[in-house]
Structure 1
């Protein structure tokens, strides 16, 4: 499931809006301020409310604050968008601008089409281990793990038990990269450029933070996180033989 945050101070999404987002496989969170770095990376997209036309300076500041920390998708929700405002936001790298009058219908249609294309691209580009597979199949790692590009999840088989671990877009891309060559150590630069598609600036903590959150999710599902191995002073690798064999009682 995709996770979308809406930064809004004057509007509160109704229960029907939350349900509408769930129908297109999106979790909508109402945010009062930009999340801290740890929480920010868990979002696949952020929607910023433009309270009025004159709030362009505040919106631009928020956009820059977000883009300094992550390459998450960003959209602006305007009371009434103007040509000048739209052009400014696009120059800052925003992915779209929508009017509140058409919210949420127009945005939902956009997201449905956009995310559908993202899923199709992910299916064709994902790493396949253990032989070639049809692009519409789930990527299988031996008999123990499966990666589901549609739900952005990792499915782990422990004996007869099947555990599904939901991941964010970046978390999924991290595991997808590591799975492309099990046993190969990927350095911080390789991982950073694959996740954020931006130049590497010795920001190892950003990669380490995502690995930390993936490991915590695996532990919460009683899977164990030992198969994501830290290679000291270099980066990370996947050790499939370290997958937890049994679950706790």
Structure 2
């Protein structure tokens, strides 16, 4: 089955150009020219990945990301920004996007980012060990669900991959570069801050006091460790 991708971009020339390139890669493409239209199409077509511009008429990309993340936790979201400023990147990550790309971009780079995200979405299909239990947590790779004290916590595809790596390597200090390679792939060209923002999001979901984490420990000068 073809991966379904929704392009939410108000500039028609960019949207058409991206669509042509992605269709050449075998993807099924849906288009939206506004945030409201993007939400409607996402609800109707249930895409696997959304490529989402920040600057949109009506509701902006941040709000669209927030809505889609709440309604479709396992959806892959790549945000496009016309600015190279850290603010837009960090805001997008905080709203729940999995990756970002700064305009102007090479369509080949977008394809690589999508393929990297696909690997995160599909990585458990051939996993023979369905359960990882580390009380009070349980990760079920068959259903791609994560629980704390028996209560399911909604994770993005990226958060899910990070927590799986942690739970599979208890006590090991993992560098940011290791996490970047394992989660985003060798071909990721973005900022390593994407790791830190995702860790902050994870802590807000699993820690009783994210400011004093008990489970995801910062290893100063190195990265992070699952305690």
- How far apart, CA to CA, are the structure 2 residues paired with 1:229 and 1:123? 29
Task: Show the 5 A alignment for 1:84-103.
Answer: 89=107, 91-94=108-111
Map residues 91-170 of structure 1 onto 2, 5 A cutoff. Answer: 91-94=108-111, 121-125=123-127, 134-135=128-129, 137=130, 139-149=131-141, 152-157=144-149, 162-170=150-158
Please point out which of 84, 92, 101 is paired with 1:40: 92
Q: Deviations over 1:53-104 (max 9, x none)?
A: xxxxxxx97362xxxxxxxxxxxxxxxxxxxxxxx83x444379xxxxxxxx
1:5 and 1:45 in contact (8 A); partners too:
no
CA contact (8 A) 2:120 2:161 kept: no
CA separation in 2, counterparts of 1:237 and 1:15? 37
Question: Which whole-Å CA distance do the structure 2 matches of 1:18 and 1:141 have between them?
Answer: 34
Gap runs ≥5 in structure 2: 11-32, 62-79, 82-87
> Contact 1:21 / 1:28 at 8 angstroms: preserved in 2?
no
Instruction: Number of aligned residue pairs: give it.
Output: 165
Tell me if structure 2 keeps the 8 A contact 1:151–1:166. no
**DSSP 3-state at the match of 1:141:** strand
Aligned-pair Cα RMSD in Å = 4.3
1:32-68 CA distance string (max 9 Å, x none): 253621243433478xxxxxxxxxxxxx97362xxxx
Ranges in structure 1 where 5+ consecutive residues have no aligned partner: 47-59, 65-87, 97-113, 126-133, 240-249
**CA, structure 1 residues 27+151, in 2 after alignment: closer, same or farther (shift >3 Å)?**
farther
Supply the distance in 1 between the matched residues of 2:144 and 2:51 (Cα, whole angstroms): 16
Secondary structure in 1 aligned to 2:111?
coil
TM-score (norm 1): 0.50
Q: Tell me: CA distance 1:230–1:144, structure 2 relative to 1, closer, same or farther (3 Å).
A: same
1:161-240 correspondence runs (5 A)? 162-198=150-186, 203-219=191-207, 225-239=213-227
CA contact (8 A) 2:179 2:195 kept: yes
User: Post-superposition shift, 1:194?
Assistant: 1.3
